[in-house]
Structure 1
Amino acid sequence: MKITKGTKIGVTSMDDTKIWSNGLYQNAYHLANILSAAGYDCDMITESKEISENKFLEKEIVLLTDDNLGDYDIIFEVVHTLRDSTVPKFKAKGGIVAGIQYGNEFMIDVMADSIYRPEKPPRVNKQDRDAVLMSPHFDFSQQAISIMYDLDVKVCPYIWSPKFLVMHEKEEELRFDPEKEMKSIAVMESNLYFVKTCHIPMLAIEHVYRENPELFEYAYIVGSKILEPSKGFIRFANLLNVKKDKKMFFEPRYRFPFLIKRGYSDVIVSHQHYNALNYLQLEAMYLGKPFVHNSHYFKDNGYYYHDFNAKDAAAQIKNAFENHKNVFEEKMEKDREKVYEYHPDNPKNIEGYAELVEWLLEKRAKENKKSKLFIQGKQKGSAKAKKPRRKLL
C-alpha cells in the first residue's frame, strides 16, 4: 500500500535485559521492525537515560528529550507511557500519541485492580492521546475503552516470532521428540490475574489421574508459587488426589525452553479467560509440542477444549498422550502455517500496521483542517462584527 514517506515513528521500549519477564518487550521490538519494513523511519525510544544506555539486540534505544521530541510524527506507547509533561509538548509540535494495548487492560487494570488492588496507582488517563490500538483478542472491550477514554479505538494485528524462543537454544533440542517417553504434564499460567490461571488445568489433570493414573508420572504447576500464601488455593489443591499422592508439584515461573530441556513439559495444559492469544500457545505449536488449550483462535490446532470444560480438557490430555507421537508431523506442519499468520514478516501484518499509521496521519490532517476552518470562521465573524453599519437616510 502507499505510505506517507518521511514519517518518523517512535515506539516506547525496554532494553533486552528482561526479554522474558514481559511479552511487551518483544512486542515493541517486533513492532519497530514491522514499521521499518513498511517503509517508515522508526526508532525504539525511552525517556529513561538508564535504558537508553543499553540496546535491544541490534537496535539502539533513543533517549527522548525536548531537543529531539519534534523529530517524531507519531509515538506508540507500548512498554511504557510518556511522562505527563511530555504529551502536551509533543502534541503542541503536531505529534500524534497512540497507546497500544497488547495487554488485557480492561479486565486487569480497570476491573480487577479496582476490586482486588485498590491501593495500586491508577492507569495513565489516555484522554489526552489521539487513539488507542488493541490486540484482536481484546476486541470485546473495544467499545468500553472507547467510551472510557473518549477516543477512537482500532484493532491491530497480533504479532509473534520464534526469534526469542530459539535465540539461545538449538531448535532441534526444543522440538517435540517422538522417540522420547512422554511422562510429564506442565501447566504454565502466570496466576497473576484471573485471565490466566492454573485451576481448570489442575482439575483436568485430577480427572485424568482418577481415570488413568498410569498415564503420566508428574504434573508441574509452574507459576503457582505466587499462590502459596492463599489459604483458598491450598484448600483447593488439597482436594485433589493427584496432589495427595505427590504426583503434582508447585513451582515458580520458568522460561519455556528451561522446562522443555529438563523434561518437565511433555504435554502442556493451558487455560485462559478473555485472553485467547498468548505466546505460550504459539511457542508450543511452533515446536510441535502437544498443547491442550481453550483458545477459540486455535480450535483446529493443538488439543482444543471449550471454555471451562475440565472433563473435556482431561479427554484431550489423554488424547495427546496416546496419539500425539503418531500425528505430530502433520500437526506441526498445520500449526506452523497458523503461527505464520502472526509473524512480523507476514505481509498482511506489515500492511495492517501501515494502514493504522496512515489512518492516524489522515485523522490528524482532518482535525487540523477542521480546526483551521473553525479559526477562520471565528476571524471572519469577528471582522463582520467590527464592520461599521451604513447610515440610514
Structure 2
Amino acid sequence: MRKYKVGITFNLEPKITDIWSNGANQNIIHLFTLFEHSNLVEDVVLVSWGPEKRTTPPEGFMLDNLGLKFAYIDDVIDELDVLIEGTLTIEPHQKERMHAHNGKVVCYKIGNDFIMDMEYFIFEKPAGRTFNGVTFDAIWMIPQHENTCRSYFSIMYCCESRVVPAIWSPLFCDKVIKRLKEQHNLEFGYRPERREKGKRIASFEPNINVVKTSFIPILIVEQAYRTEPEKIKHYYACNTYDKKDNPTFFNFIGRTQIVKDNVMTVEDRYQMPDFLTRYVDVVLSHQWENGLNYAYNDALYGGYPFIHNSKLLPKGIGYYYDQFDAFEGAKVLLEVIEHHDRNHADYVKRANEYLDSLLPDNPVNIYHYEKELKRLFE
C-alpha cells in the first residue's frame, strides 16, 4: 500500500497571534491530527514561509506540547506527495515545483470565499485570498460551503470540488478549561441547578461579514423580552463593541427595549469557553450559509442550551428555529428557558454523540479523507 507525505500550509506570522481569533487555524491543527491517525499517511508536516521565516508557533497559538511538526516550505517541498493549502496561499512556482516530481496540490476550503469575495468587491474592502493563477488538483471543502461555493471553486481553480467531513475536537477548549480551573477555580459547563428565573444569554457571531451577524439574535432576544421579560436576565452581544458607534447598528439597538432597560450590553471578543464559564446560561446563534461553526461545538461541549438555525446539524442537536424567523426564535428561546433543565441529561448525551462524530481520529472521518487522498493519484 502506497503511503503519502503530506504538507499543510500554516501561517506562523499573522497579525493576530491568538488561536481563537480564526477558526481556520484550529481547523488546520485538526486536519494535521487526522492525518497523523491515518495508515495511508507516512508523514505530515505544517509548512510555512514569510518575512521572518518562522518555523515555531507564537505563544498565543497554544500549540505547545502537541507533537506538531513544522518546516520551512523550501526545506520539504521536494519530498512531499501532497501539498494542501491551509492558511497560507500556495503560489504558482510552488505548484510547479510539486508537479515537477508528480506531487499533487490541494486547496482545503474552510471559509465561504464566494460571499466574502462579493463583499470585498461591492464594498471596496481589502481583498482576501485572491486568485493568483494557481490551479489545483482538487478542492476539498467542508459541507457548509457546498451550496454557495462549489461552482465558484471548481470553475476558477479548474478542478473538481469535493466535500469532506467537518472535523473538530475539544483540544483548544480543554486548554482554556484547564487554565480556568487552575488559575481561577472556575468550572466550565452549564449547570441546570441554577434557580434564577431569568437566564443570561449570549451570542458570539463575529460580525465580520454577512454570514454570521448578531442582528437576528438581537431580534430574538428583543421579542422574547417583550413577551416574558422576567425570563431574560441579561443578553451579551459579543463581538459588537467595535460596532457600537456604527450609525446603522446604533439606531437599530437603540430602538430596542432590551437596550433601554439595560438588559443588553455590547461586548468585545473573548475566548468562548472563558466567557461561557463566567457569564452564560444560553447560547443564541444565527448564520447564513455557514451552518457548521466551531462556536456551536464549544457551546455543545459545555452542555449549554444552544439555539440555532443550522440545517446541517442533526435533528435533536441544540434547539432549532427556522432560518431568519426571529418570532419562532423567540418562542424557542422562551421554551428553552422554561423546559431545558428537566431534559438536560438527554440533551448532553445527544450533543456528545454528535461531537464524537466530528473527532479527527473518528474512523469514518479518516476514511473519507483517505479516499480523497487516493483519488488524487488515480
Q: Is 1:128 aligned to 2:128, yes or no?
A: no
| Alignment partner, residue 139 of structure 1 | 146
Alpha-carbon shift at residue 149 of structure 1 (Å): 2.4
Residues 9-20 of structure 1: matches in 2 within 5 Å?
9-15=6-12, 17-20=17-20
Q: Secondary structure at the match of 1:165?
A: helix
% identical aligned pairs = 31
Alpha-carbon shift at residue 127 of structure 1 (Å): 4.2
Q: Secondary structure at the match of 1:185?
A: strand
* Change in CA separation of 1:102 and 1:325 when aligned onto 2, cut-off 3 Å: same
Q: Is 1:174 aligned to 2:172, yes or no?
A: no
Alpha-carbon shift at residue 119 of structure 1 (Å): 4.3
| Alignment partner, residue 99 of structure 1 | 107
2:282 maps to amino acid: V
Query: Which residue of the other structure, out of 2, 21, 40, is the alignment partner of 1:4?
Result: 2
Q: Is 1:114 aligned to 2:112, yes or no?
A: no
Could you tell me whether the CA contact under 8 Å between 1:52 and 1:60 is conserved in 2? no
Query: Which residue of the other structure, out of 307, 324, 330, is the alignment partner of 1:292?
Result: 307
1:93 maps to amino acid: H
Alpha-carbon shift at residue 361 of structure 1 (Å): 1.7
Could you tell me whether the CA contact under 8 Å between 1:8 and 1:42 is conserved in 2? yes
Could you tell me whether the CA contact under 8 Å between 2:173 and 2:273 is conserved in 1? yes
Query: Which residue of the other structure, out of 253, 258, 266, is the alignment partner of 2:281?
Result: 266
- Cα distance between partner residues in 2 of 1:233 and 1:134: 33
Q: How many residues end up aligned between the 2 structures? A: 356
Moved more, 145-154 or 174-183: 174-183
Alpha-carbon shift at residue 72 of structure 1 (Å): 0.4
- Cα distance between partner residues in 2 of 1:127 and 1:61: 24
- Cα distance between partner residues in 1 of 2:338 and 2:53: 51
1:82 maps to amino acid: I
Q: Is 1:360 aligned to 2:362, yes or no?
A: no
Q: Secondary structure at the match of 2:232?
A: coil
Alpha-carbon shift at residue 327 of structure 1 (Å): 0.8
Alpha-carbon shift at residue 291 of structure 1 (Å): 0.6
- Cα distance between partner residues in 1 of 2:72 and 2:245: 41
2:194 maps to amino acid: K
| Alignment partner, residue 337 of structure 1 | 353
* Change in CA separation of 1:213 and 1:100 when aligned onto 2, cut-off 3 Å: same
| Alignment partner, residue 251 of structure 1 | 267
Alpha-carbon shift at residue 134 of structure 1 (Å): 0.5
Alpha-carbon shift at residue 90 of structure 1 (Å): 2.5
- Cα distance between partner residues in 1 of 2:286 and 2:377: 39
* Change in CA separation of 1:30 and 1:113 when aligned onto 2, cut-off 3 Å: same
Moved more, 76-85 or 33-42: 76-85
- Cα distance between partner residues in 2 of 1:53 and 1:341: 31
* Change in CA separation of 1:187 and 1:68 when aligned onto 2, cut-off 3 Å: closer
Residues 31-180 of structure 1: matches in 2 within 5 Å?
31-39=31-39, 40=41, 41-48=43-50, 49-54=52-57, 56-57=63-64, 58=66, 59-65=68-74, 67-108=75-116, 110-120=117-127, 123-125=130-132, 127-140=134-147, 141-170=149-178, 173-180=187-194
Gaps of 5+ in 2: none
- Cα deviation 1:170-194 (Å, max 9, x = unaligned): 4891111112245311011000000
Could you tell me whether the CA contact under 8 Å between 1:81 and 1:124 is conserved in 2? no
- Cα distance between partner residues in 1 of 2:133 and 2:37: 28
* Change in CA separation of 1:346 and 1:121 when aligned onto 2, cut-off 3 Å: closer
Residues 314-333 of structure 1: matches in 2 within 5 Å?
314-333=330-349
TM-score by length of 1: 0.86
Moved more, 10-19 or 300-309: 10-19
TM-score by length of 2: 0.89
| Alignment partner, residue 23 of structure 2 | 23
Moved more, 183-192 or 86-95: 86-95
Could you tell me whether the CA contact under 8 Å between 1:200 and 1:271 is conserved in 2? yes
- Cα distance between partner residues in 2 of 1:329 and 1:248: 30
- Cα deviation 1:121-168 (Å, max 9, x = unaligned): 661336422221110111112123212322211111100001111123
